[in-house]
Structure 1
Amino acid sequence: MTTAPGTNAPDRAPHGIGLLDDEGRQLAAACLTGAALGSWPAFTLGVYGVIFFEQHLALWAAATSVFLALGLSKGPHVWRRPQALALLLPSLWVLLAWILPVGGTSGIYQVLFWFGVVITVVGLPALAAVMVRLLIPGAERLRGRRALGAVAVVSLMMLVSFGLGTQHPRILTCEDFTVSGNFAPENCSPGTGSTVR
């Protein structure tokens, strides 16, 4: 029997599925954060074939704030590391979108579109991994099989979210989209939505 941290009393917490060790909590946090951040852009990509600008800007704001926080806490020299510089990819997308006129149809706009898709779909889970490592003590030790497990879980959840987006007429109605503040896609199912009372 172990003692509870900070006391002489024995730790009487029940063992079982509800109790995770530190590595299990780190893995669960990485999976939860990555899937929570990555599932919505994957779903909208499945439904609409695009990722909404709000998702691009949310990624940009989060990545840039983490980049700046790293510089404040570790000093500007940390910005030379490739992991830190990767946090600037969303800023590069914003800069390119700023430079190029809005509404073009040439190949450069397709490149910009897919660049935005890739950095958002890959960047949100990667940013989640950085955030988990920064905010959860000991999470930087999440490596090897557990790190691959987290990547696999997040990738699976994003793939399933994309699949649900492509199959939205089977689970959502036009009204579900409208009530949630989203544009109803052309191929949505008519009828009263499952989220509407």
Structure 2
Amino acid sequence: GEFWTIHGKSGAGKSTLLNLLGLIDAFDEGTVSLFGKNAPKINSKAALLLRRNKISYLFQNHGLIEDETIMDNLNIPFIYRKTRRREKIKLQQEALAKVSLDYPLKTKVYRLSGGEKQRLAFAKLLLEDKELILADEPTGSLDNENRNHILNLLFQQHRAGKTVIVVTHDPYIIEKSPRSFSIDSWQETKKRGCEI
């Protein structure tokens, strides 16, 4: 897998590019290649199966169900998998520990801060365990310590063989990324990158 950051001015199309790669938005011209094939139309069964089985999306606005509990949100990755209740709870608690979120599973999501919601969204992503991770400003609402923690988790996913594409304005994340792409100049910058 690869680890890329995409950066550029607001409104330049960074999130749109992620939405095209994530089969959320349709494109008018050209082609998008995913997993070695041309991307299917976004409303096709093939696109649905790719989103369900191969693509994780970490949304800028968390993508959580606010009126439901932490457990309800962490149950979503298990909808299409048969997992025993006890095993599911164990996996959920492990994912929460990895993102340093220490709340009972019955806690309502709306009670969490913005940074805690983003860490919960990342815990959900860990449970999804998909090949392609698309992250739209995943650390925008986090302090430096939590930003570094989430960035390390993204690097761990990359080392596990996943492809990670991060849209960010954060110069620190761009600097640490092995590869970055400026959407303003359409220029790739290769960097050494390092773990935090």
Query: Scaled by the length of structure 2, what TM-score is found?
Result: 0.31
Higher helix content, 1 or 2: 1
TM-score by length of 1: 0.31
In terms of fraction of residues, the more strand-rich structure is: 2
